């Protein structure tokens, strides 16, 4: 069953690019990788999802190497409003109709003026 | 409509009370979820409904009882809770049960902040 590991915290200055890496060594063939952002007392918000190589949308990029054992969320030119907890999620089919949908511990990103 | 709506936003209940949390979505999603989140911790999966059938129950105590009346609604019935059950309860939905596919992940509600006294 896939389990994710992320850095507990990261600091960055405004305007810099931030890369947060998630390890998922036991990712299964059909698993997707999804990243979420969460502000205090709010529900997580979908950022980006990918299966392999690179995915880009209007807010972020997701890089997934060929072995898919890790993924890197890239946030370009962060601002103070990007201060939040970022979660990497790998959905894993556990068999017999059971799915493991487990959040990792998340990375608290603090953006400094 | 691209939202998941949860009511109430805040709830204070005694240990002998019975209350219900409600969740609604009109995005045509066929999987709905309840998560529990304690302060400074990641969300923990409680229940998954897929096509209105309970497909995952993560060993949640029976004082929490989920219900999915139709594909747009999800309830969580609460009875005889303990103070340690105080948490943010999050509802989410997705196109399919793994939150993958063209729908792209889960959509979460803003949660119900539950305090058990």
- Tokens 């017999």 locate to A96
Report d(CA A59, CA A56) in Å as an integer.
8
**More reliable by pLDDT, B82 or A34:** B82
Report d(CA B23, CA A53) in Å as an integer.
35
How far B80 CA lies from chain A's nearest CA (Å)?
A: 25
Check the CA dihedral B31-B67-A43-A21 and report its sign: negative
Contact A104 B42 (CB under 8 A): yes
Residues B80-98 pLDDT 10s? 999 999 999 999 998 876 6
Above 70 in pLDDT, residue A6? Answer: yes
Contact B111 A41 (CB under 8 A): yes
Neighbours of B99 (CB within 10 A): 26
Above 70 in pLDDT, residue B100? Answer: no
pLDDT of residue A100: 62
pLDDT averaged over every residue in chain B? 89
Residue A72: exposed, middle, or buried by beta-carbon count in 10 A (0-12, 13-18, 19+)? middle
The beta-carbon neighbor of B104 closest among A49, A101, A106 is A49
B interface residues, A as partner, C-beta within 8 Å? 4, 33, 42-45, 48, 55-56, 88, 90, 92, 97-100, 104-111, 113
How far B7 CA lies from chain A's nearest CA (Å)?
A: 13
With beta carbons under 8 A apart, name residues in chain B contacting A99.
48, 55-56, 97-98
pLDDT of residue B43: 92
Asked which of A15-19, B10-14, B21-25, B51-55 is least confident by mean pLDDT, the reply is B51-55
pLDDT of residue B61: 93
């Amino acid at each position: 069953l896939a389990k994710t590991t992320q850095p507990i915290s990261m600091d960055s200055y405004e305007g810099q690019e931030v890369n947060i890496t998630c390890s998922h060594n036991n990712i299964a063939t059909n698993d997707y990788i999804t990243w979420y952002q969460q502000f205090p007392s709010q529900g997580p918000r979908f950022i980006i999802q990918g299966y392999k190589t690179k995915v880009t949308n209007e807010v972020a990029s997701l890089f997934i190497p060929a072995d898919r054992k890790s993924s890197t969320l890239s946030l370009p030119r962060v601002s103070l409003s990007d201060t939040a907890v970022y979660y990497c999620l790998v959905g894993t089919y556990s068999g017999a109709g059971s799915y493991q949908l487990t959040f990792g511990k998340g990375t608290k990103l603090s953006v400094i003026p | 409509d691209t939202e998941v709506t949860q009511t109430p936003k805040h709830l204070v209940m005694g240990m002998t009370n019975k209350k219900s949390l409600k969740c609604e979505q009109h995005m045509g999603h066929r999987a709905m979820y309840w998560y529990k989140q304690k302060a400074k911790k990641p969300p923990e999966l409680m229940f998954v409904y897929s096509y209105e059938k309970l497909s995952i129950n993560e060993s949640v105590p029976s004082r929490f009882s989920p219900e999915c009346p139709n594909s747009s609604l999800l309830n969580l019935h609460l009875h005889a809770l303990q103070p340690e059950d105080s948490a943010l309860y999050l509802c989410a939905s997705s196109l399919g049960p793994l939150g993958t596919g063209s729908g792209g992940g889960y959509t979460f509600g803003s949660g119900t902040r539950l305090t058990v006294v």
